[in-house]
Amino acid sequence: MASGLFDLAKTVIEYIARSVEFAAALIIAIAAVRATWASLRLLLGGDAPPEAKVAVRLTLGRWIAVALEFELAADVLNTAVTPSWSDIEKLAAIAALRTALNYFLEREIREESRTEQQRAETNLKATESAAETPHS
């Protein structure tokens, strides 16, 4: 009986893990299609400001980071049902690689966002200064 219950739990967890992997693939696919569409609109629309291009890249990067978290969750689930040392070592290697990739992706997103925010603040200050200057 316990063996049958364990086999059922293992099967259910494997299906959940596959569903989470599918969700990650779906997130990446939809984000890529949206980024492609936005890029094409910018490309065909003429001179796009650099901020618009950065926004497309940052949005895609954020969704990829979300998908990486889903993939890591699926790996954890897979390891939960087959906990051999080999599988645990693979999970550790995959988790390290995905964590490193996610770290650098998040860092780039933060830097670009900070640059974008500074540019917006500078533009706002310039606009406010121009509005305060009396016109003759």
Q: What is the pLDDT of residues 73-110, one digit of tens each?
A: 888 888 877 677 887 887 788 778 878 877 887 888 78
Q: Give dist(CA 38, CA 56) in Å, integer.
A: 7
Return the number of other C-beta atoms located less than 10 Å from residue 84's C-beta. 9
pLDDT above 90 for 31: yes
Instruction: Provide the pLDDT for residue 1.
Output: 65
Given CA atoms 78, 80, 84, 86 in this order, what sign does their dihedral have? positive
What is the percent of the chain with per-residue pLDDT over 70, rounded to a whole number?
96
CA 99, CA 71: separation in Å to the nearest integer?
Answer: 11
> pLDDT tens-digit profile of 60-82?
988 988 898 898 888 888 887 76
Q: 84 is written with which tokens?
A: 């051999």
CA distance 33 to 53: 15
**Nearest by Cα to 59 from 39, 44, 73:** 39
Whole-structure pTM value: 0.69
